[in-house]
Amino acid sequence: MKKIRELIVFTAFLVVALWKFDVVIEVLKSIWKIVFPFALGGAIAFVINVPMSFLEKKMLGKIKENNKIGKKAARPISLLLTIILAAGVMVLVMFGVIPQLTQTMGNLMTSISDFIPQMQNWIREFSHDNQDIMKLVDQL
């Protein structure tokens, strides 16, 4: 009996959710706006933790063994080095991507300007009987 009641309640919620789908989407968007910064921060922390742990253990491990200040400073130093390394990688990627992106946009503009007359000729061939379409093609 309890399972039937749960099934009826679930079905009622499903029907209301499908009936008011736009409201459900807006609620989900609002929830995502709240959750997204936390998810992004967690992802960044997870990604940064891997090289930071490596630097802390392998490169600064010997400093930590011998002195008290080294033990306290190893983690902040490894974090700083990791942030500098991540920023450097981002800068290198940007210097590689942005020139390629501008070149691709230029090629796309050239291709589009070459394609428009070909498309006009193709439309003229296939719709020479329809005067409305011919007027639209001539406007381009």
Dist CA 13 CA 9 (whole Å): 6
Dist CA 59 CA 73 (whole Å): 13
Residue-wise pLDDT tens digits, 49-98: 999 988 888 877 777 677 777 777 788 888 999 999 999 999 999 998 89
Which backbone phi and psi does 42 adopt, to 5 degrees? -65, -40
Residue-wise pLDDT tens digits, 88-106: 999 999 998 899 999 999 9
Query: What's the domain range around 84?
Result: 2-112
One-letter amino acid identity for 89?
A: V
Q: Is 115 exposed, middle or buried (0-12, 13-18, 19+ CB in 10 A)?
A: exposed
Residue 125 is assigned to a structural domain of this protein: no
Residue 16 is assigned to a structural domain of this protein: yes
pTM of the model: 0.54
Residue 105 is assigned to a structural domain of this protein: yes
Residue 17 is assigned to a structural domain of this protein: yes
